[in-house]
Structure 1
């Protein structure tokens, strides 16, 4: 290839040797990725023998969809290292591109499931579902759900405690969702964006009685009780007294600074039955988290309901009949079941 008397080649020869167009070689040269060795008397670009390997490397890196700045850093690093091995610039660029591709794939899978949802929807429901889907960003974001729960939690609750609660309360959109999961997440998004009745979001009595610091103690202990109740739910056990219920009541006695007595349990059962609820939220969380054909996993909401039913049966308290979760967004379990 490099057969001229000076050991250099022109832009056309270099382009042919690398299997690219002259325009491509000129583009990389103009951006400093492919330095010229010299110019001919007529002003034509001339390249040295090393240019062919460098151009082939540039072509390979660009085929991975790496940007010009990343390619320049990789080339500079290789040149500084004598042209051998791959350094941190290549590893960082590849890792960054992998993250971008992963996000793009998640967005495509979400769009595919959303399209199938619309395709499979009865004509009378298509308009409503299109509205719900259109309100969700792609890839879907959990930011509206996080904002909703931050409005529910006590204002001065320690950040670590609030973060631990959000990890449980906010479901992550599936990487490869089914149409049903897309619909459930879209409904969650709409539910948390809808305005609250009145001037403020309703709060459970425990937030007022325990305060921000006490609420942190309460939520941490409730998480353990819900986990124990979840194990009972997976076994199909009916609500009953035991370790889970004792931990549930103990969460409130610790937060309130009182003793666990039969009278306290009766009053607690009444308080929890009267608290604002969000049953519909937890139903949708279960739908988002359940793969097609899979068994629904317990949520903090279902665990709370199981424990409250056990407490009500134990104390003989009269349960309060709540509004259907499909009719009211503000019917939710307190604490982690809020």
Structure 2
């Protein structure tokens, strides 16, 4: 995995905001500044054991004195959240990268926000932005229980007419049909959470012809008919041509050839390795680019995606 220098930040505050959810406030280190960001953006956080994990920014984009992220403790995960929960302390220094945004808030006449668990975090700045614009919006927020739902009380207290909390142990699953049926015409639906919620939202929105934007925590499922074939990658700046075998990724082949490409998740969910495509037709297998972006074919996520054509030409 390629690394860049990143930005050094200081842990200013840690506070529990729900069962197993820790909010971490990050301030710029001495002589550094926090880059601007927009609703939907995330940062890479380099943990003490070298793991790199992505967390959505959930604070105020207008306040560049601090970044805020909320981290769900996942004991069965790969260790990043456990380190942040158990080892990180106020005053510690961290390296972050970004922000990056593959989940921006687009203009619309109204919004329906669908959140599952920690998936509420990227939606918080969007909700504030929609409210500030006086655009109609509604949040349908599900979780295991009320105590597991970060920011739930604050959200409901601030906008009770717009916020619908759906704790599973009290009310079951979010009624997605009812949620989207109540939306104004031409509304845009934003959904973030576990895969079952995303899949259900895609089905409901497709049947109603509604526009949907999603952000995934885990990679989507490849079609069962997918067949991996070898293809060639050409580097436009040098003319070098590299063969990508059927059993290897583009990122692996580039790294072996000494071509430095920044990567992080290596499963098509973070967008770090997004690369401009000059020629050829990508076989998109990521969970980052929208359907429209994939259809355009002028960029791809090279840690998982492949090629429909014998050769791709990259702007590298």
Taking structure 1 as the reference length, the TM-score comes to 0.21
Q: Please identify which structure carries the higher helix content.
A: 1
What TM-score, normalized by structure 2, do the two folds share? 0.22
Return the structure number with greater strand share.
2
